[in-house]
Structure 1
Amino acid sequence: MINPSEVKDRAAGAIMGAFIGDALAVGPHWYYDLTELRRDYGDWIDEYTDPKPGRYHDGLKAGQLSQAGFILELMLHSLVENKGYDEKDFCRRMDEELFPLLDGTPISGPGNYTSQSIRDAWRKRVQQNLPWGQTGGHADTTEAIERTLAIAVRYAFQPDKLAAAITQNAILTQEDETVVSMTVAFGAVLGLVVEGNRLDADISAKLMKRVKSGALPFHAVTNDDLQPPQKGDPDPPRAGRFASPDALLSPSYMAAAAFDSDIRIDPPWKVSIVYGMPCAIYHQLPAAYYLSALFHNDFESAVLHAVNGGGQNQARAILTATLTGAQVGLSGIPKRFLDGLNNADELTQLAEKLASDIEPI
């Protein structure tokens, strides 16, 4: 039986987890030399930190958000004020509240860094005056996930709406079909976790049931448990645009690895070395799934191991912390992470407003 107060707690935990993960990595963001990272921040980062002079986000202070957090907040305001996803309203906010702060260079804008996909969208929208819908670029990052995670929370109990809204929003800045499919898959996983499901080896089977029902827009020809189709089976109708469901299968493999006593990534922050430190979505998602499964009831360990792995630790921390925050709930996030977060009270109120709009069914 669904407990609305628990759903609200998980939903708010997912949103606040993302903000916390973003802010924790502002200081030590994008160190690919782990010796240099340890020299600047010590053997273990366990709190908000200032960026070092001359590095990414220089000028920000401990506990402040990067541009990813800024855009996530824009998305939350849009979702709350419109009682759901409204593409026109979100695009207006990008035009009016973000783009005037950018100049097309990397070291600019909120957070003192602008990602490739947002720079591409800015050039097409501002310099070339193209309409939204013709603004997507080729970046293969988790940039769209970092804002659409709020859509996943809002539509956790409506997977068809979740998938449609995330797809529509993701293609505004990223047009690669594989990247978009992995973005939608992450949202579908997060939605299940907000519902109350654990991120474990069974989660992909639950996702595939939604593919079979037509709720998730992935094509699949296999039968249950990935058994081969039988002679005479009809070609299943496409539920949507994505040719393969493989992005929905990955989370279970990562979770199985986390729970397998014969597999150990020790210490767990070295997940960044196993799956890769770079920005690309295919490096980031496996690490986030692994850490969120391993530390399903320990928010602090999950997010700190994500941060201490170096490389693109900000994306890794956002993704890990939103999945883990959804598992432990806002009530399970240590108070010190909220106390040190800039504008935490306002962000928490916004997260709780979104959580109140969820329609459990």
Structure 2
Amino acid sequence: MNDASRPSRLERTSGALWGMFVADSLAMPAHWFYSIESLKDQFNGGLTGYEDAPHPHPESFMVGMEYQPDVEQAQRCGRDYDILGRHSRFYKTTYSELKIETGHRESQHGNASPKEEERYHYHHGLKAGQNTLGAHLARVLLRSVAEEGRYCEAAFLEAFIHYMTAPEQRDDPYTEIYLRKWFENYASGKEKRDCAFHQRDIWSIGSLGGMNRPMILSMLADTAYQGLGFGLNHQILTHRSENVSAALGLSIPLLHDLLAGSPPMSAAMHHTASLRLPRITGDEMFAQYREHEGPDNIPDSEMWKLHTGLETKPFRLDEFAAQPPSAVVLEKLATACYPEHGLPLALYSAARHEFEPEPSLLADANAGGDNVGRGAVLGLLVGAASGPAFPEAWIDGLADKDTIANEIDGFLQVAEKDFPW
């Protein structure tokens, strides 16, 4: 391919953004299926395209999750606290009543769950081609950048709060723990820049959901060096996590190499040379969770070791990608939301399928677990590698395709500037 026919950086940026939205919607129906057998039974052998969120979700433990803002303090501060709206019926809150019993245990993860017919899907009500809340918050960032003509932290936070405290406009009932804890702090009167929790206090703060917006924001910078700095600064607004920062330290430089047109596999081999796999396997981690009847019951010191203990031997992505999925998914890497497992699993799907979007994203979606958070990272990478060659049929199938296209165009106009900060 000569230089004239190579996709430009702007075209690859567009491909990356479309890749994220496609991956999110594609994975949504199978989000948080930890059992591959259950996933295959539910989707006739596996997902092959967009589908509605099914009901019931056999492994769901969304019902009964907590959101406990101090309502009186929020009112004294003049701050909105309701981020759930009509979806509050699924949560234990300080301002609504949960009428669904949660006396059962979800078998894979060990968390309290309702009886099976009341195990509502995390994205209950979403239809084929719709996006989750995580992708919609990425859209909040795109719109903020376009409206300001640059990235402005204060403007993003205002847009983020406005979007979250107008829950009537959202179809997705699943509100991740980082958001619920963020708005508990916000309701108490904390400064907006200080509302994020730390993974040492709540382990799920160290989640893949903290990666997509920093990776997107980094694409405004000309270099990975600068992009990583801006991305990490944005990350800590919502995710104070060493594990998320470490994962971004690999994924953002790789993303920038792909935007520059580097051969995907050689770029991935270069950037993953410093990667180390988790010391504990996915099966072992879930066994620990079940033994303690949920991760919240594991002592903090044990959780720190569980999620930061890494192998010392060098990592080779090509050798890892040559292993069959049965030896990697769950056997070696957990499909949960943690980046130390999720990033190498996303890279495994990409490398095993030579960074081709369709097989890579389908493999991720059908691995289950946090396939949405993991898929967003994967979609950005394979989309950057593919650029305008990203499958049009999948773009056309997105429910908000036209609006998303306008938001992507607005972001790209800012990305063309010499210094959009």
Give TM-score, length-normalised by structure 1.
0.77
Give the corresponding residue for 1:98.
Answer: 164
Report the AA paired with residue 193 of structure 1. L
CA offsets per residue over residues 254-284 of structure 1, 9 Å max, x none? 533356xxx322479x545432111111111
- Aligned to 1:274, what secondary structure does the other structure show? coil
Give the corresponding residue for 1:177.
Answer: 242
Q: Distance in 2 between matches of 1:333 and 1:41?
A: 24
Give the corresponding residue for 2:149.
Answer: 83
- In the alignment, which of 319, 336, 354 is matched to residue 393 of structure 2? 336
Give TM-score, length-normalised by structure 2.
0.67
Give the corresponding residue for 1:114.
Answer: 175
Kindly indicate whether the alpha-carbon contact (under 8 Å) linking 1:121 and 1:135 is maintained by their aligned counterparts in 2: yes
Query: Which has the larger Rg?
Result: 2
Q: Distance in 2 between matches of 1:254 and 1:114?
A: 36
Q: Distance in 1 between matches of 2:386 and 2:331?
A: 26
Give the corresponding residue for 2:276.
Answer: none
- Aligned to 1:197, what secondary structure does the other structure show? coil
Listed as ranges, the gaps of 5+ residues in structure 2 are 56-119, 200-204, 274-307
Kindly indicate whether the alpha-carbon contact (under 8 Å) linking 1:28 and 1:49 is maintained by their aligned counterparts in 2: no
Q: Identity percentage over the alignment?
A: 21
Give the corresponding residue for 1:52.
Answer: 54
CA offsets per residue over residues 276-332 of structure 1, 9 Å max, x none? 111111111001112223334521001000001111111222211111011011x22
- The runs of at least 4 consecutive aligned structure 1 residues that moved more than 6 Å come to 1-4
Would you say 1:256 and 2:313 are equivalent positions?
Answer: no
Give the corresponding residue for 2:68.
Answer: none
Report the AA paired with residue 123 of structure 2. H
- In the alignment of these two chains, the number of paired residues is 308
Q: Distance in 2 between matches of 1:347 and 1:272?
A: 34
- In the alignment, which of 245, 252, 265 is matched to residue 324 of structure 2? 265
Q: Structure 1 residues 171-180 or 128-137, which shifts more?
A: 171-180
CA pair 341-109 structure 1, distance change in 2 beyond 3 A: closer
Q: Structure 1 residues 297-306 or 4-13, which shifts more?
A: 4-13
Give the corresponding residue for 2:196.
Answer: 136
Q: Distance in 2 between matches of 1:334 and 1:353?
A: 21
- In the alignment, which of 12, 15, 20 is matched to residue 14 of structure 2? 12
- Aligned to 1:342, what secondary structure does the other structure show? coil
Kindly indicate whether the alpha-carbon contact (under 8 Å) linking 2:15 and 2:383 is maintained by their aligned counterparts in 1: yes
Q: Distance in 1 between matches of 2:416 and 2:247?
A: 25
CA offsets per residue over residues 132-177 of structure 1, 9 Å max, x none? 221121211011212222112222x233431222111111111123
Give the corresponding residue for 2:211.
Answer: 145
Coordinate RMSD, CA, aligned: 2.9
Give the corresponding residue for 1:357.
Answer: 414
- In the alignment, which of 307, 310, 313 is matched to residue 371 of structure 2? 313
Report the AA paired with residue 338 of structure 1. I
Q: Distance in 1 between matches of 2:415 and 2:207?
A: 28
Report the AA paired with residue 326 of structure 1. A
Give the corresponding residue for 1:30.
Answer: 32
Give the corresponding residue for 2:334.
Answer: 276
CA offsets per residue over residues 219-256 of structure 1, 9 Å max, x none? xxxxxxxxxxxxxxxxxxxxxxxxxxx9xxx9x94533
Q: Distance in 2 between matches of 1:167 and 1:11?
A: 19
CA pair 123-3 structure 1, distance change in 2 beyond 3 A: farther
Q: Distance in 2 between matches of 1:284 and 1:206?
A: 16
- Aligned to 1:49, what secondary structure does the other structure show? coil
CA pair 206-258 structure 1, distance change in 2 beyond 3 A: closer
Give the corresponding residue for 1:346.
Answer: 403
- Aligned to 2:254, what secondary structure does the other structure show? helix
Listed as ranges, the gaps of 5+ residues in structure 1 are 103-107, 209-245
Would you say 1:163 and 2:228 are equivalent positions?
Answer: yes
CA offsets per residue over residues 64-83 of structure 1, 9 Å max, x none? 01011110100111122223
Q: Distance in 2 between matches of 1:277 and 1:297?
A: 20
- In the alignment, which of 39, 62, 68 is matched to residue 134 of structure 2? 68
Report the AA paired with residue 264 of structure 1. Q
Would you say 1:21 and 2:23 are equivalent positions?
Answer: yes
Kindly indicate whether the alpha-carbon contact (under 8 Å) linking 2:20 and 2:380 is maintained by their aligned counterparts in 1: yes
